[in-house]
Structure 1
């Protein structure tokens, strides 16, 4: 999805497409962190 969004932006120069690209890029970075936290909570439940 990132590649497609970047390609559309590079061909059109549309700022909204660039902002969408940056948002998707940020979400992609956050996913592994959230998964690690969930796994840690499964291994060591607080309650």
Structure 2
């Protein structure tokens, strides 16, 4: 989705496509933080 919205923005200059691109980046970072195991929790066990 992120790649598509960037390509669409580059082709059209549509601001909404850029905002979608940025939102997808933020959501991707949040999902990565949630799915990564916490090293501190593993060390405590």
* Larger RCO (CA under 8 A, 6+ residues apart): 2
Stretches of structure 2 that go unaligned for 5 or more consecutive residues are none
Runs of 4+ in 1 over 4 A off after TM superposition: none
What TM-score do the two structures reach when normalised by structure 2? 0.71
User: Offset of 1:2 from its aligned partner?
Assistant: 1.0
**CA distance, structure 2, for counterparts of residue 21 and residue 14 of structure 1:** 11
Map residues 1-47 of structure 1 onto 2, 5 A cutoff: 1-36=1-36
Alpha-carbon RMSD across the aligned residues, in angstroms, is 1.8
